[in-house]
Amino acid sequence: MDAMLPTIWAGILAFAILVYVILDGFDLGIGVLFGITGNETYRRQMMASVAPVWDGNETWLLVVGAGLFGAFPIVYAIFLSALYLPVILLLIALIFRGVAFEFRYKSEKMRWLWDWGFFLGSAVATFVQGAAIGAMVNELPIEDGRFVGSAFFWLTPFAVCCGIGLIIGFCLLGATWLILKTEGELRAWAYRLAPWLLGGVLAFLVVVFLYALVLKLDVLQRWIDRPVLWIFPLVGAAAAAGCAFGIRTRRDALPFLMTVVIFLCAFGTMAVSFWPYMVPYSLTIEQAASPTSSLRFLFYGAGLFVIPVILIYTVTVYWVFRGKIGEAGHYG
């Protein structure tokens, strides 16, 4: 059991990251979509569709940060050193976004400010997450277990492309969530947007593949050596086709479900490309893990109690607020 603890905690963190990306992904996407429509009725329905769940979704980001600090402190230190500015921007954006979410209903004269805050907070938070992923794919400059790059090393054309790509991806999640949860004109509006967003996601994935091919990144060599890994892109392509089918046939649940599968496949692609490294390609899971005693303590505390409680809470909230909201912005 003790020998497996580093792998178990890597799995727990991977699960928490995946849950965060999907759950907070659609409400960040809705925040971006909020900014491209001036229709107040649409905006109220958008916010109503995520009002019961948006703050709970961000709990998983705290799980990721705390779990990384406890189970893999050297990775936590490297990532914070390398991505200090993106992390600060992420926190500021999420705070401003949360304040704007609550304040826009309490203010009329300043509502324009909170509307911009909700939109920009969502867009900036999404962009810096995508840019951070792009920086990791490019590989962090590490020597003797320490980050040795500059404060702006992450701001490369590829990282910017990844940031924009994640914005498009989260907007697709948001649009398909609106299809799933709303009715009337907003649902029709989301249906019109969804094909363009799906096309944008597919175009981004092609660009990333060509980038890896042209620059001959290490990650591409791993795929050449292990062709079985192509199962993830193939399933993702099938999910994209399923999403397009659901949009065309107006099957409300299918586009969101298939978009989630696309994200699952994208995450799986990245995870198996980096395995068994926690910091590609510098530190493995075993090298980065805390002492066994610390991992054991965390596992019996957070792993068996805290995380299951958060998961139960999340499932319960989504079950209670299942179904569509009406055009007045109310459930049921």
pLDDT band of 34, cuts 50, 70, 90: very high
* C-alpha span between 230 and 182 (Å, rounded): 36
- Any domain includes 292: yes
pLDDT digits (tens, 9 = 90+) for 232-260: 888 988 999 999 999 999 998 999 999 99
Q: Per-residue pLDDT for 12 more than 80?
A: yes
Give the residue-averaged pLDDT of 20-47: 90
pLDDT band of 224, cuts 50, 70, 90: low
- Any domain includes 329: no
For the chain, give the mean pLDDT: 84
- Any domain includes 275: no
- Any domain includes 93: yes
Short-list 236, 245, 260, 251, CA closest to 180: 251
pLDDT band of 222, cuts 50, 70, 90: low
- Any domain includes 239: no
> What is the pTM for the complete model shown?
0.90
- Any domain includes 315: no
Q: Which residue segment(s) compose the domain that 26 sits in?
A: 2-207+286-301
Q: Tokens in use for 319?
A: 């079950």
- Any domain includes 196: yes
- Any domain includes 237: no
Q: How far apart are the first and last CA of the chain?
A: 47
Region of 216 on the Ramachandran plot (φ > 0 left; ψ -120 to 50 alpha; else beta) = left
Region of 8 on the Ramachandran plot (φ > 0 left; ψ -120 to 50 alpha; else beta) = alpha
Identify any residues that bridge with 147 across adjacent strands, giving them in sequence order.
Answer: 142
Q: Quickly tell me which residue has 């938070």 as its tokens.
A: 125
Task: Catalogue the long-range contacts made by 287-295 (C-beta closer than 8 Å, 24 or more residues apart).
Answer: 288/6, 288/72, 288/74, 288/75, 289/5, 289/6, 289/9, 289/71, 289/72, 290/70, 290/71, 290/72, 290/73, 292/2, 292/5, 294/70, 294/71, 295/2, 295/5, 295/6, 295/9, 295/71
> Which amino acid, one-letter code, is at 314?
T
Short-list 278, 279, 275, CA closest to 143: 279
> Which stretches does DSSP call E strand in 92-216?
142-143, 146-147
pLDDT digits (tens, 9 = 90+) for 158-214: 888 889 999 999 999 999 999 999 888 999 999 999 999 999 999 988 887 777 666
SS3 142: strand
Give the residue-averaged pLDDT of 57-84: 85
Total domains in the fold of the chain: 1
Region of 144 on the Ramachandran plot (φ > 0 left; ψ -120 to 50 alpha; else beta) = left
In degrees, rounded to 5, the angle at the alpha carbon of residue 145 between the alpha carbons of residues 140 and 151 is 45
Q: Quickly tell me which residue has 């065309």 as its tokens.
A: 248
